Amino acid sequence: MVFEDNDKLINFEPKYPHLLPESWKDWSNPTIYEINATLDTLKKMYSEQTKDLEKGLISKELGEENLRNIATNFQTIKSILFEPR
């Protein structure tokens, strides 16, 4: 199968799942792949931040602020999946 309009496609990036919105090809219209990769990245960031907090590698205040920011970003990105297209 050949796609005639492939300018919406992105190249496979071996850095997956490390993808954030600034890496999206079209920020205003991300692909499902980009959204899912970003959600996976945010989950990994949350997990790593939790481990750093538990190990005392980061202050409790900063760690909790970072966790709130990651969670907020996760919810914002996840809501894109439910927007009418």
pTM of the predicted protein model: 0.74
Break the chain down into helix, strand, coil percent, rounded to 5: 55, 0, 45
pLDDT tens digit string along 13-58?
Answer: 555 568 888 888 898 888 888 998 899 999 999 999 999 999 999 9
Rounded to the nearest angstrom, the gap between the alpha carbon of residue 85 and the centroid of all alpha carbons in its chain is 20
Q: Quick check: 33 and 13 in contact, CB under 8 A?
A: no
